[in-house]
Structure 1
Amino acid sequence: MKRIGVIGGGQLALMMGSAAQKLSVELIVQTPNPNDPAVSIASNTIFAAVDDATATAELAKQCDVITFENEFIDIQALSKLATDKVCFRPRIEALSPLLDKYHQRCFLQDLGIPVPKFTLPESLFAVSSQTIQYTKITFPAVLKARRHGYDGQGTFIINDLTSLEKKLYQDPGKNHKNNLIESHFLLEEFIPFQKELAVVAARSTSGEISTFVVVETQQEQQVCRRVIAPADISLQIEKTIKDIACKVLDNLQVVGVFAIELFLTNSGEVLVNEIAPRTHNSGHFSIDACFTSQFEQHLRVVSDLPLGNVAMKIPCAIMVNLLGYETLKSNYSDKRSELAKIPGAHVHWYGKSESRPGRKLGHITVLFDKLNRDEAMTIANNIESIWYS
Structure 2
Amino acid sequence: MTMHQLITAEGIRVADALLDEFVDDVDGEQLRNLYRDMVVIRRIDFESTALQRQGQLALWPPLLGQEASQVGSVRALEDEDFIFPTYRENGVAYCRGAKMADALGVWRGNTNIGWDPYELNMATPQIIIGAQTLHATGYAMGLTLDGKDSMALAYLGDGATSQGDVHESMVFAASFQAPVVFFCQNNHWAISEPVGLQSHVPLAGRAPGYGIPGLQVDGNDVLAVLAATRWAARRARSGGGPSFIEAITYRMGPHTTADDPTRYRGVTELEEWGAKDPITRMHSYLLELGMLDDGAQAAIAAEADAVAADLRLACISLPDPAPQAAFEHVYVDAHPLLEEQRVNYLAYLNSFGEQEKTSVTVQGSPS
Give the structure with the higher percent strand: 1
Give the structure with the higher percent helix: 2
- TM-score of Structure 1 vs Structure 2, range by shorter chain: under 0.3
Larger radius of gyration: 2
